[in-house]
Amino acid sequence: MAEDRFALDGDQLLRAFDFASELSAREMEHRDRMRSLLLDLVNVLHGFDRLWKSFEPIQDVTPEKARHLVESCGVLKRHIEKVLNDAGVSSIQCLGAPLDPKMHSVMETRPTNDIQADTIVEEVSRGFTWHGELLVKALVVVAEPLMADVSGRTATSGSEPDNNSPDRSRGSEPSSR
């Protein structure tokens, strides 16, 4: 009869299954709410990033009151970064890295022959992951090769159409006239 102690009847098994299903649904709802909160915090941090960049050039020549504002914004920015970090949010390191369309959105290209094509040369807006899952893509500027025309002059790929190569700005197939 000791075996009967461990046997679950149909009603107990159904209740256990319902409880597990409800718990799983609550967990998913909590994760969705947390993700929404983290996205809101990331958007606030993006605003502080833009504000911080606008203060950097004038930081040493501003009056004391403005200097205090700059310092306060820096403290607040670091605090938000810590809160996000403690919640499992990490910024995507991308400067100098190759473009990864899954992690980066290209805002602009910059013509150069000094850097390999599709290498990130500027981070416009940071991207973030949450426990390894993409939260928001980084907005970046990537290197684009300079091309030499027939006369040997260099031009950006966007200056004159080349009917034999894809148009990178639109991602289309080779154009035809």
**So where are the chain's domains?**
1-87
What residue type is 17 in one-letter code? F
- CA–CA separation, 136 vs 129, rounded Å? 7
pLDDT exceeds 80 at position 54: no
Looking at residue 147, its pLDDT comes to 77
The per-residue pLDDT for 61 is 60
CB 109 within 8 A of CB 143: yes
Highest mean pLDDT among 7-16, 72-81, 82-91: 82-91
Average pLDDT, the chain: 78
The reported pTM is 0.57
Q: At what angle do helices 10-55 and 64-86 cross, to 10 degrees?
A: 160
pLDDT above 70: residue 62: no
